[in-house]
Amino acid sequence: MTAIPKEKLETMYWTLKMSDREIAQELKLSRSYISELRKKYSIPTRMSTGRKGELSVIQQLNRLGFSVKDMNLVNKKSDYDVLVNNRIRIEVKSSSAGKRNYSFRLADNRLREHLVSHNRIKLENGNTKKLFEKTCDYIIFVGLNPNKRDESWIIPSIALDRELQGIDLPVNQNFESQYNRFYEKWNQLFT
């Protein structure tokens, strides 16, 4: 394999914010080789968008006085991300801001080969989707926007259509959305 100087890899990964896949494509190498090389050079992995959203939710719930358990620290294979007051199961979906919307995926591409189970269905297009109404009580959609504070929509899992594969939520609350009524509705978790 081609040797890549540590400084070059650090610049591409941290300064240029390129993903392992993007670096691999540019250098005509495999993504796994780039990942292994970052480990060899002790170049730490950036925090994922998903994890940033989970930590944002945990921080907000703690501020509101809830007892919060980060399920990523308890069981990486948990069906939900956060347990609140030992009874409310929360799934967190995160997205960075686009020009007009935050776009959240709810279905998994068929290439990921998730198995159908009592908690997961196969959709007509071959994608699979977790049955959130069985695995969590709420889905908190977190919009990560570098120009302002994180935005959240706290939606009961039963309020989303079973076949829904994705959801776009507006960056600007002046735009009409059927989900605006869930915007920053943290108080519903107190009931």
Which is it for the CA torsion 152, 184, 159, 78, positive or negative? positive
**What per-residue confidence (pLDDT) applies to 64?**
96
Domain 49-190 has CATH 3.40.1350.10: yes
| Domain residue ranges of the chain, discontinuous segments joined by + | 6-40, 49-190
Q: List the structure tokens of 3.
A: 């040797």
Q: From CA 109, how far away is CA 129, in angstroms rounded?
A: 9
Distances, alpha carbon 60 to alpha carbons 40, 138, 156, in Å? 36, 15, 18
Per-residue pLDDT of the chain (191 residues; tens, 9 = 90+): 668 899 999 999 999 888 888 899 999 999 899 999 999 999 999 988 999 999 999 999 999 999 999 999 999 889 999 999 999 999 999 999 888 889 998 877 655 566 667 777 677 777 777 888 999 999 999 999 888 889 999 999 999 988 888 899 988 777 778 899 999 999 999 87
- Strand 138-144 relative to strand 82-84, pairing: unpaired
The SS3 assignment for 155 reads: strand
Containing H/E element for 111?
Answer: none
pLDDT of residue 114: 62
pLDDT the model gives residue 110: 57
User: How, if at all, do strands 107-108 and 101-105 pair?
Assistant: unpaired
Judge contact between 84 and 75, C-beta under 8 A: no
What is the Cα–Cα distance from 91 to 140, expressed in whole angstroms?
A: 6
